[in-house]
Amino acid sequence: MARVTPLSGFPEWLPGEQFIENTFVERVRRVFELHGFAPVETRAVEPLDQLLRKGETSKEVYTLRRLQASEEAAAEAERLGLHFDLTVPFARYVLENAGRLQFPFRRYQIQKVWRGERPQEGRYREFRQADIDIVDRDTLALHYDYELPVVAAEALAALPIPQVVIHTSNRKLAQGFYRGLEIADPPAVLRVVDKLDKIGASRVAEELVGLGLSDAQAKACLSLAEIATPDAAFADAVRRLGVTDPLLDEGLDELTLVMEAANGLVPGLLLADLSIARGLDYYTGTVYEAKMRGYEQSGAVGAGGRYDNLAESGSDRFPGVGVSLGITRILGLLFGAGALSASRQVPACVLVAVTAEETRGASDAVAAALRRRGIATEVAPAAAKFGKQIRHADRRGIPFVWFPPSSPADQHEVKDIRSGDQAVADPQTWEPPATDRVPDILTP
């Protein structure tokens, strides 16, 4: 048999790590639902023309092909791809279901996506995202642009992770600034500036000049990207650069409102960071990137923004704003650093010992009684000596071993194998300590 090797970029967690991911998902889901977001799940596959219609993403998309398909069927299948984010499929979903949705529509979606990029720490080809979006018909009020980061921050605060700072900017601000510099292709400049964290200022300047910008224009673009303030002071810093344009003014006004409103609700929530560009073309206004303290060099663990034109068909237009949290990226970074672990690898809190195979039914009855009260329980795999059964529980991380009575005169007893304490117990009433009911998430 050929040696099995891991497939790069497709993470598979151990059971304890998977428990942590499940817990993260549940906590995030709960926060989203507390804010009125409804669950949605879209198909994994979209037509390529749908996936590629907004932005240069062709290198990221995995196409779909059936191995034994006919030539004609293969050609048809190659026009399909796995979704690389959840926003583009959601826009399609809104258009297809607009007649059955109530607007403004608030949705959350926690699902895997696939992206063909180079795997590295915290970056994968298959990963789970947790998205929230609000869409409306025709127009979308600006107050949603500061509501979304408030909800995202609350969801992140429910997780045992380092503090996450949400950086924000506005595409109108950046594009208006580039227009004021008389740059012919502002979206192309945005895509280059979006690489600033990855390749550095000097390389960005080189690429901007390669796009046809003068040295002065490239320097001005980098000067804009250097502005970062915890309040609305960014507006004065931009104006001091001496560039004017109506779209720039609109972006400054919108970002000022979002910053002041969000930080008024949650002090210090947003950091105005004009290096935030977001490479995808569908963003039209406010944009966000969330960075985890101590892991900033690994990039954003959350991102999003406003998209006014992504969901449109004919005269129907559904502008939206959304935030995506990178569940797998957060976990991958923290697992890699040894900053998260589970207190045990299995959900079972109790192992019920088996005194003899002929009396296994009695052990099964104890397990059933405990499970009815929500206590995760296993029954020992074999009627070995009790010492061996205890060692089995210890290897699996199960904290309690239950001993059914071996005769009518005996009583049930339960042993905490960590401390050695053993006591009489009733399967109808016994309760483990709350901290032992389910595996706990441990941090240094």
The mean pLDDT of 65-90, rounded to a whole number, is 77
Instruction: Find out whether the peptide bond into 119 is cis, omega within 30 degrees of 0.
Output: no
Q: Put residue 195 in one of left, alpha, beta given phi > 0 → left and psi -120 to 50 → alpha.
A: alpha
How much of the chain is in helix, strand and coil states, percent to nearest 5? Answer: 40, 20, 40
The torsion region of residue 64 among left (phi > 0), alpha (psi -120 to 50) and beta comes to beta
Q: What is the pLDDT of residue 120?
A: 80
pLDDT in tens, 184-202: 998 889 889 988 888 899 9
- Would you give the distance in Å from CA 161 to the centre of its chain? 13
Indicate whether 56 pLDDT > 60: no
114-131 average pLDDT score = 89
pLDDT at 19: 96
Euclidean distance between CA atoms 134 and 37, whole angstroms: 9
Q: Give the mean pLDDT of 341-360.
A: 96
Question: Phi and psi at residue 346, in whole multiples of 5°?
Answer: -130, 155
Residue type present at position 246: P
Span 150-171, average pLDDT: 96
Tell me, what's the pLDDT at 282? 86
Q: Is 283 annotated as a binding residue?
A: yes
Q: How far is CA 230 from CA 55, 126, 168, 227, in A?
A: 30, 34, 10, 10
Give the SS3 label for residue 315: coil
115 is in an annotated binding site: yes
The more confidently predicted of residues 387 and 77 is: 387
| Separation CA 411–CA 119 (nearest Å) | 57
**Residue 294 in this model has a pLDDT that exceeds 60:** yes
Region 107-135 average pLDDT: 92
Distance CA 158, CA 304 (A): 20
Residue 168: beta bridge partners? Answer: 272, 288
> pLDDT band at residue 59, thresholds of 50, 70 and 90?
low
Q: Per DSSP, what are the bridge partners of residue 305?
A: 287, 322
What is the pLDDT, as a whole number, of residue 239? 96
**Range in 77-81, 125-129, 135-139, 285-289 with the lowest mean pLDDT:** 77-81
The amino acid sitting at 28 is V
Least confident stretch, 29-43, 67-81, 338-352, 371-385:
67-81
309 pLDDT above the threshold of 70 = yes
Q: Where does the chain hold its CATH 3.30.930.10 domain(s)?
A: 15-34+118-136+143-341
Q: Is 62 annotated as a binding residue?
A: no
Provide the pLDDT confidence category of residue 306 given band limits of 50, 70 and 90.
very high
**Per-residue pLDDT at 54 exceeds 70:** no
Query: Residue 180 is encoded by which pair of tokens?
Result: 């004021």
CA distance 436 to 416: 11
pLDDT value of residue 271: 97
Name the CATH topology of 350-442: Rossmann fold (3.40.50)
Residue 325 is which amino acid? L
Report the chain's C-alpha Rg in angstroms.
27
What is the third-level CATH fold of 15-34+118-136+143-341? BirA Bifunctional Protein; domain 2 (3.30.930)
CB 407 within 8 A of CB 126: no
Instruction: Quote the pLDDT of residue 77.
Output: 54
State the virtual CA torsion across 303, 306, 309, 313 in degrees, nearest 10. 80
Residue 73 is predicted with a pLDDT of 60
Burial of 146 (0-12, 13-18, 19+ CB in 10 A): buried
Residue 57 has pLDDT above 70, yes or no: no
- 113 forms bridges with which residues in the sheet? 127
Ranges in the chain annotated CATH 3.40.50.800: 350-442
Q: How far, in Å, CA of 12 to CA of 2, rounded?
A: 20
What's the pLDDT score for residue 191? 87
Average pLDDT over residues 317-321: 96
Confidence of residue 66 (pLDDT cuts 50, 70, 90): confident
Q: Does the annotation list 93 as a binding residue?
A: no
Res. 47: pLDDT tops 60:
yes
pLDDT tens digits along 168-186: 999 999 999 999 999 999 8
- pLDDT, residue 392, reads 97
Cβ neighbours for 235, distance < 8 A, ≥ 6 positions apart: 252, 255, 256
Confidence of residue 71 (pLDDT cuts 50, 70, 90): low
> Which residue from 441, 394, 438, 442 is spatially nearest to 418, judged by alpha carbons?
394
Q: Mean pLDDT across the chain, nearest whole number?
A: 92
Residue 85 counted as an annotated binding residue: yes
Task: Write out pLDDT tens, residues 217-265.
Answer: 999 999 999 999 999 999 999 999 999 999 999 999 999 999 999 999 9
| Residue position matching structure tokens 């995506």 | 324
Q: What is the pLDDT of residue 181?
A: 95
pLDDT tens readout for residues 373-405:
999 999 999 999 999 999 999 999 999 999 999
| Residue of 375, 373, 428 lying closest to 400 (CA atoms) | 375
